[in-house]
Amino acid sequence: MSALTTHILDTSLGKPAADVRLLLHKWVDNQPQYLSTHITNADGRCDAPILSGEAFTTGVYELVFDMGNYLRQHYADLPDPLFLDQIVIRFGISSTQDHYHVPLLVSPFGYSTYRGS
């Protein structure tokens, strides 16, 4: 299936990150253009692809993971301001025939991502 999906895992708690808001932008003429907002479910995924169908086109995209509220709700005694609040991942979609999965592995003080399957 040609689509964009994500999955957020809290590596410190060892569980999916539910109720995290994320924004999708596409970069056009060196400027981000807002496309959509999504909320992760209990499995740390969105209920539907973030991008699919005719909207799934090549280009440079950006996912903004709003982790601040999640981290404040699940961890006591975090510093103010948080070390991580919004995590921005900019990536390219070069083929409309492929599935692009952008997982986020996160803790209060670090994160990693990769192109998943």
The reply to whether 111 sits in an annotated binding site is: no
Q: Check residue 84 and give left, alpha or beta (phi > 0: left; psi -120 to 50: alpha).
A: beta
In 3D space, the residue among 66, 85, 58, 59 whose CA is nearest the CA of residue 23 turns out to be: 66
The reply to whether 7 sits in an annotated binding site is: yes
> Which 3 state secondary structure label does DSSP give 54?
helix
The reply to whether 114 sits in an annotated binding site is: yes
Which residues are known binding-site members for substrate?
Answer: 7, 45, 114
Which residues are known binding-site members?
Answer: 7, 45, 114
